[in-house]
């Protein structure tokens, strides 16, 4: 992971990884987080998470905490 790619977004559905991406800016990662919920939220058992890979913290998850 490059240091500029700090914020990691993942989408899992039906217990399987579907898509993921990294962004250097938290603002952009949070916009992607919201757009992924709109685009993929209807998938079976969809879960979208945003983590700070530098601090190893969960910043956001949908739906709710894991």
Q: With H, G, I as helix, E, B as strand and everything else as coil, classify residue 15.
A: coil
Domain count, the chain: 1
Q: Is residue 45 part of a domain?
A: yes
Q: Give residue 57's pLDDT.
A: 96
3 pLDDT above the threshold of 80? no
DSSP lists the bridge partners of residue 9 as: 21, 50
Q: Is residue 41 part of a domain?
A: yes
Q: Is residue 34 part of a domain?
A: yes
What domain range is 56 assigned to? 7-62
Instruction: Pick the closest to residue 12 from 44, 38, 35 (CA basis).
Output: 44
- Using an 8 Å Cβ cutoff, are 50 and 7 in contact? yes
Q: What does the pLDDT look like over 7-56, one tens digit per residue?
A: 999 999 998 999 999 999 999 999 999 999 999 999 999 999 999 999 99
Q: Is residue 2 part of a domain?
A: no
Q: Is residue 16 part of a domain?
A: yes
**pTM confidence score:** 0.87
Q: Is residue 1 part of a domain?
A: no
Measured from the Cβ of residue 37, the count of other Cβ atoms closer than 10 Å reads 16
């Amino acid at each position: 992971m490059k240091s500029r790619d700090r914020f990691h977004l993942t989408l899992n559905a039906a217990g399987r990884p579907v898509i993921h991406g990294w962004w250097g800016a938290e603002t952009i990662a949070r916009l992607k987080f919201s757009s992924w919920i709109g685009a993929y939220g209807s998938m079976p058992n969809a879960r979208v998470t945003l983590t700070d890979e530098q601090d190893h913290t969960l910043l956001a998850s949908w739906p709710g905490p894991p």
